[in-house]
Structure 1
Amino acid sequence: MARVCVVGSVNMDLVFAVETLPAPGATVLASSMSRSPGGKGGNQAVAAARAGADVVLVAAVGHDDTGAALRAHLESNNVDVGGVIALPVPSGTASIVVDAQAENVIVVAPGANGHLSLSSPRLRDLVAGCEVLLMQLEIPTDTALAAARVARDAGATVLLNASPVGADPAALAQLAEVTDVVIVNESEARHWVWPVPHLVTTLGARGAVHRSAGGETRVGAPAVEAVDTTGAGDVFAGVLAAGWAADPAHAVRRACAAGALATLVPGAGDCAPDDEAIEDALN
């Protein structure tokens, strides 16, 4: 597996279990509430590490108990946190509502994630030292663009999970120029047309489709009884990044299997399967 650098967000997730998602203006009662580590960057870093990659995370947390808990979770999952900086602002927080059909609605307060930058030479060196860079859009777009340029100049492969949607099209165009692989879901794929060498679109329970100059390949996912789809897309991205440099086609198959397995575990931060479980699902 490759040396992967993830530049992205780290949050504490507050997860509410409900029977049905609330309509606008409605109030529903949750049957339970739990706290768990999350954030797209943290989730993807853990997924890549569990899939066998050597992972370093560049992220920002607050000078608070939440930040310390997030750092401890990452370290316990063999993620190098040498690039996780602490800032004098609150750590990021996400509120996640999950219904009985495993669908979810998520609201994120970025906190420290919104202040992450690559102004430090040490952080730029961590990005330059990777073989594969994986980013998302829960951090400032300028930071993602700076990381992509550093990695590209160093000869690394750049992957971007273009989520959440909403970035300025001009900024997306700049990102596309220095990105090799874009990962989106079906909804995000309709937001903007990515002129990149590889576009991987996740299809939920139906797997994923990989489009490149060589054509289009559809990959199925194992059939499972989903408990919670939160974090499945992050697991897909992390596992894809872990295996892309060795074999992109096999990496897509592994990512589909890992994403399906992730839905069997409640919450986002601890739902990633390990390498053995992924291979068992493929077999």
Structure 2
Amino acid sequence: MNQIVVVGSVNLDVVLDVDRLPRAGETVIARGVRTNLGGKGANQAAAARISAGGVTFVGRVGADDAGVRLRDELSAAGVHVDLLAQAPGVPSGVAYIQVGAGDNTIVVASGANATFTELAPAEVDAVRAATVVVCQLEIPDPVVEQVAQVASGRLVLNAAPARPLPDAVTSRCDPLVVNETELAEFTGTDTGSVESVLVAAQTMRAQGVRSVVVTLGGAGAVWVDAGGSGHHRASAVPVVDTTGAGDLFVGTLAAQLAAGAPLSTAVSVGTAVASLSVTRPGTIASYPTPAEVAAVVAGVSTR
């Protein structure tokens, strides 16, 4: 049995490296272009596999060359892809990413991901058997709702991009992972400070979410669960590329939870590991090695 099952999106990333992000209506010249495996689901699966024993990915690719490449690259990252199905008649998802001055913009053409509206019987079995199930909102609502219904283990939902969710989904989240902008959309409250983020996260938990984690970029992350709440600060590091850092955080968090770590520890490790990746270019290419993650875990455990 696999500890972690990730149900989500997989895209071919087309990344343009620019000196700065263009303003509306402006043309800039890229220093270079690269393509690689991406999508929140695939990134989170690859991130979880760095320190988890078994990770299975459930998703959809098109019947095209990109689909073959995405399957091969996800498998090369150590993720089981037997349940990565082919959607006939549509292309694989593609994300167009601009990276400049340590920041990025992303536009996604969902492609095959948009056809993923129901779990097949074998996929239901895998989700039901998993210790931790990870999901995001780059796939249609019906499959997210089905995942919440059939998962018997812990459900980690990265609610991005943010949109309204039924109580049947949010009540299963343990944790619901959002950034401060997404948290503001869910709660309609100010999230301009760590204190206001904590209040908003506690409000969400009082409304039925089992636990909440809020990522704050360079300011770290906040967590709230039945045992309390806290704020883990991120290390001050030179930022090269933030693409995929949030997905690395989620995948690392899931791996720590699957290993039995309390939420506070999982958030601390995820924050530290994500800080490593932003110092390097690329998405999955920037992710740390198992030894680097193990060193972070050892450092957290000795605090």
C-alpha distance in 2, partners of 1:149/1:95?
Answer: 33
Change (3 A) 1:53 1:251: farther
Residue 57 of structure 2 is aligned to residue 57 of structure 1: yes
1:182 counterpart residue number: 176
Which residue of 202, 206, 209 corresponds with 2:219?
Answer: 206
Contact 2:243 2:282 in 1 (8 A): yes
Q: Which runs of 5+ in 2 are unaligned?
A: 188-203
C-alpha distance in 1, partners of 2:103/2:167?
Answer: 31
Residue 272 of structure 2 is aligned to residue 278 of structure 1: no
C-alpha distance in 2, partners of 1:191/1:3?
Answer: 32
C-alpha RMSD over aligned residues = 1.5
Can you list the C-alpha shifts for 1:121-176, whole angstroms capped at 9, x where unaligned? 1111111110101000000011111011110xxx30111000012x2x2x343321
Task: Give the 4+ runs in structure 1 shifted more than 4 A.
Answer: none
Residue 265 of structure 2 is aligned to residue 240 of structure 1: no
Which residue of 129, 141, 159 corresponds with 2:156?
Answer: 159
C-alpha distance in 2, partners of 1:213/1:251?
Answer: 15
Give 1:190's aligned amino acid.
A
Which TM-score applies when normalising by structure 2?
Answer: 0.87
Can you list the C-alpha shifts for 1:24-43, whole angstroms capped at 9, x where unaligned? 12211111111111000000
C-alpha distance in 2, partners of 1:82/1:222?
Answer: 38
C-alpha distance in 2, partners of 1:177/1:252?
Answer: 20
2:186 counterpart residue number: 192
2:192 counterpart residue number: none
Q: Which runs of 5+ in 1 are unaligned?
A: none
Residue 242 of structure 2 is aligned to residue 229 of structure 1: yes
What is the identity percentage for the equivalent residue pairs of Structure 1 and Structure 2?
40
Contact 1:137 1:162 in 2 (8 A): yes
Give 2:135's aligned amino acid.
M
Where 1:12 maps in the other structure, the secondary structure is strand
Pairs aligned (count): 275
1:41 counterpart residue number: 41
Change (3 A) 1:53 1:182: farther
Can you list the C-alpha shifts for 1:167-200, whole angstroms capped at 9, x where unaligned? 2x2x343321222211111111111034312110
C-alpha distance in 2, partners of 1:136/1:150?
Answer: 16
Higher relative CO (Cα under 8 Å, sequence separation at least 6) belongs to 1
How do residues 1-283 of structure 1 correspond to structure 2 at under 5 angstroms?
A: 3-88=3-88, 89-100=90-101, 102-151=102-151, 155-165=152-162, 167=163, 169=164, 171-193=165-187, 194=204, 195=207, 196-245=209-258, 246-247=260-261, 248-281=263-296, 283=299
Which TM-score applies when normalising by structure 1?
Answer: 0.93
Contact 1:209 1:217 in 2 (8 A): yes
C-alpha distance in 2, partners of 1:119/1:219?
Answer: 36
Can you list the C-alpha shifts for 1:35-64, whole angstroms capped at 9, x where unaligned? 111000000000000123410000100111
2:200 counterpart residue number: none
Give 2:283's aligned amino acid.
A
